[in-house]
Structures are given as structure tokens and as C-alpha cells.
Copies of this chain bind each other. A is one copy, B any other.
Amino acid sequence: MSNTQRQSWIDVRDQIHGRILDSTYRPGDRLPRDEDLAGEFGCARTTIHRAMRSLADNGIVERRRKAGTTVRSDPVTRTTLDIPITRLEVEGRGDTYGYHLISREIRQPTSLIAARFGLAGQQELLNACSLHLSNGRPYIFENRWISLQTVPEILDVDLSEESANEWLVRNRPYNRCDVQIYAHALAETDAARMDIPTGSAVLVLERTTWINGNPITHVRTLTSPGYRLATSG
């Protein structure tokens, strides 16, 4: 009430965040209801809501109907990771992009892939291996599985011309995307494909995408040595 200044949702967010940081509200604590905070800050409830959604998006608080808003008891560093289309990434640096389809076949998935897709019975998938080149040198090797049940059209796509990722990103929306990132020492066959020494440490990305609970594709990409992922946030 004494506060007659104009309140933007960012101000509100920062003040509430400040209270969390100075332990006015401690991890696990329940915050006042939005409506009460609105009264206290002298703003509309929607403004509190906007501020709270930002805090929730950043992993600072958790919100549940009826249970209210609580301070997360396990603070995390949350950042946003953009994985670009490889061609655009290479070309964006001013380098020359190349693409080479190594293999393409319809086959039974390995048990690991079947598990990732949640496949019960037998079901054949399209498996394509390809190499992305930067300035003529191996850049990223990918081993991809595509669900023929969810994406039958992929059979009509000429994968020797366009990378599956590019076609999928442009043509198939997804609801859910799981990513795993880890380091790996290259096995001999993979090292040969990438034209680098066996045992080299490379960054591996595995992605699985889904639409309404149906698997679209799973891809495992081996990047070349020195590859870095950078995030902003």
C-alpha cells in the first residue's frame, strides 16, 4: 500500500527472488497466495502470475494448484541448449558443408533402440548412417533410426540428397525431445569413419523425439574432437 511505484512483472519477480535469496522464503517454504502478493505489491494478480511463471520456468519455485507456490528445495542451474541443423551450423561459420549417406536399410532395431522407443513386439525401422562434412573433412557422424509407423513418408525421401534431420525438422513436429550428452572414446570403426585416431575423446549426443507419445526418431551423433556445445541463459 505504501508502495505507489509502478510495478512491472520483472520488478516483482526480482523482489520475490530476492526474498528467496535472503532466506525470507527458504527452500521448501510455501509462498503467499498470488492474490495476497498482489495486494502486498499493489498490482494485479496477473502480474504476480507472470513473475511466478518466470521463476517457475527458471527452476526457482514450483507451482501447483491448491498446494500453492513453494521454493524449490533443490536449486539447479537451468540453461537453454540449442542444437542447430548441422548444415546451418557449418555454413554459419562460413565453412563449406558436405553430406554423405553411408547406409540406409530397413531392419529390426537393436534392443537398446527398441527400449528407447518403447516398442513391445517386432517392428522394423529405417536405419540410416551418414556423415556430415565441414570443409571436406568429417565433422559429425550420425546413426539414426526412424519409426516407419509414425513417419512412413520417410521412405519417399531421398536421403542421399537431404539429411534426415533436415527433412524431419522441417516436416515433422514433435512434442517431446529427450537428449543425452556424454563423452566417449571412439571405437575403431567409428574412428576410421571420422578419420581420427582410435580412442579419441568425442562428444556424443543422443536425441529421441516423440509426437503424442509416438516415437519419431532416435539419433546418435558423434562429433569431431574439439566440438563444443554452448548454451545461453
Contacts and interface: CB of A to CB of B under 8 A. Distances in A.
Nearest to A27: B170
Contacts of A120: none
Nearest to A181: B229
A181 B228 contact: yes
A230 B173 contact: no
Given A182-B226, A183-B203, A201-B202, 17 more contacts: A74-B92, A75-B169, A76-B84, A77-B83, A77-B84, A77-B177, A77-B207, A79-B179, A80-B81, A180-B228, A181-B230, A181-B231, A182-B203, A182-B229, A183-B201, A183-B202, A185-B200
A33 interface: no
Interface of A: 17-18, 21, 59, 74-85, 88, 92, 169-173, 176-185, 199-204, 207, 223, 225-233
A102 to B, nearest CB: 22
Contacts of A199: 185, 199, 201
Contacts of A176: 233
A74 B86 CA distance: 10
Nearest to A223: B183
A142 to B, nearest CB: 13
- Highest count of chain B CB atoms <10 Å: which of A169, A200, A201, A202: A201
Given A88-B74, A203-B181, A81 B79 contact: yes
A7 to B, nearest CB: 19
A18 B229 CA distance: 29
Contacts of A79: 80-81, 83, 177, 179
28 contacts: A18-B173, A21-B170, A21-B173, A59-B82, A74-B84, A75-B85, A76-B84, A77-B169, A78-B80, A78-B81, A79-B83, A79-B177, A178-B230, A179-B231, A180-B229, A181-B229, A181-B230, A182-B203, A182-B228, A183-B183, A183-B202, A183-B203, A183-B225, A183-B227, A185-B200, A185-B201, A199-B199, A201-B201
